[in-house]
Amino acid sequence: MRKLDLENAWQGAPLFLKYRTQSTMEDAEALAGKGYPEGTVVAASFQERGRGRLPGRLWESVSGKNLLFTLLLRNSSINTLSRLPLLIGLAVSLALEKLFSLETEIKWPNDILFQGRKLCGLFCMAGSDRILAGIGINCNQLSFAENLGGRATSLAVILKKRVSRQQVLVAVLREVKAVLADRDWQAKILKRLYLRGREAVILEGLPPGREVRGIVVGLEPDGALLIRTEAEAEPLRVVSGEITG
């Protein structure tokens, strides 16, 4: 594991790079147990067991092409864990907007899209005194597995040029720290919320879950999605699940 000489918004917190690892989440968890400070980062060129949000889902990435990292946060800095993936998503969206003038959308609860295609995925895991935020941003990968069915993209595909993964990392960390202290986060996410004002199909809870169809109308302060359905007089709160259509 090599220490990177890069700017970190959390001054003094180290950034590490592993060329190959099982999972940056596992690496960061081990460092958290050793007392490493908030803002510590473990990035990898390739990980064999990159985790997705739901059980059994993996984050697949071509070696050396994308930005894959886990950020260590301490519980004292986060008021509501349930909204953290949205806050991290906002930070990624803002970083890409400032670096590349890209207008991305935040797909509840944990994806970043560009023109309907997945550009970034997020996964957060909490422990007794820590939160691990796993972030995967497609940077320089030019082709994707057939089973993704044209649902993924990358910065290189969008911009038609290679990008610096280190530059993206530094920018994202800067925005994450700023967003965690931003009281206006909800309005900024709503501005970028995928399918806001349009009909969506949502699988509520864990699969197989309950299918809900309605109009996406907003977010609660805890990050719950608000859906207006024909059956309910008031907007329905969806605490967990995923948008499937």
CATH number assigned to the domain comprising residue 171:
3.30.930.10
Q: With cut-offs at 50, 70 and 90, classify the pLDDT of residue 51.
A: low
Pair 146, 178 in one domain? yes
Domain that holds residue 212: 199-243
Pair 236, 172 in one domain? no
Give pLDDT, residue 146: 72
Q: With cut-offs at 50, 70 and 90, classify the pLDDT of residue 52.
A: low
143: nearest Cα among 135, 151, 153:
153
Pair 108, 212 in one domain? no
Q: With cut-offs at 50, 70 and 90, classify the pLDDT of residue 160.
A: very high
Strands 131-137 and 199-204, by their bridges, are unpaired
Distance of alpha carbon 91 from alpha carbon 72, whole angstroms: 15
Pair 236, 138 in one domain? no
Q: How many domains does the chain have?
A: 2
Task: Express each pLDDT in 172-185 by its tens digit.
Answer: 999 999 999 999 99
Single out the residue in 150, 174, 192 at which a domain terminates.
Answer: 192
Per the structure block, which two tokens stand in for 113?
């899209």
Give pLDDT, residue 58: 60
Lowest mean pLDDT, pick from 120-124, 148-152, 239-243: 148-152
Exposed/middle/buried for 35, CB within 10 Å: 0-12, 13-18, 19+?
exposed
156: nearest Cα among 241, 65, 239:
65
Task: Express each pLDDT in 71-117 by its tens digit.
Answer: 999 976 666 788 999 999 999 999 999 999 999 999 999 999 999 99
Distance of alpha carbon 96 from alpha carbon 139, whole angstroms: 11
pLDDT > 70? residue 53: no
Pair 177, 236 in one domain? no
Pair 162, 206 in one domain? no
pLDDT > 80? residue 21: yes
Averaged over 203-212, what is the pLDDT? 82
Pair 211, 131 in one domain? no
Averaged over 145-159, what is the pLDDT? 86
Pair 58, 111 in one domain? yes
Exposed/middle/buried for 67, CB within 10 Å: 0-12, 13-18, 19+?
buried
Q: With cut-offs at 50, 70 and 90, classify the pLDDT of residue 36.
A: very high
Q: With cut-offs at 50, 70 and 90, classify the pLDDT of residue 34.
A: very high
Q: With cut-offs at 50, 70 and 90, classify the pLDDT of residue 44.
A: very high
Pair 141, 185 in one domain? yes
User: In one letter, which amino acid is 220?
Assistant: E
Give pLDDT, residue 79: 67
Q: Residues of the chain with pLDDT > 70: what percent?
A: 91
Q: With cut-offs at 50, 70 and 90, classify the pLDDT of residue 212.
A: very high
Pair 134, 208 in one domain? no
Give pLDDT, residue 232: 84
Task: Judge contact between 137 and 36, C-beta under 8 A.
Answer: no
Give pLDDT, residue 114: 98
Pair 169, 227 in one domain? no
Pair 147, 236 in one domain? no
Averaged over 25-49, what is the pLDDT? 95
> Rounded to whole angstroms, what are the CA distances from 163 to 139, 156, 158, 192?
7, 7, 11, 23
Give pLDDT, residue 62: 83
Phi-psi region of 31 (alpha: psi -120 to 50; beta: other; left: phi over 0): alpha
CATH of the domain at 208: 2.30.30
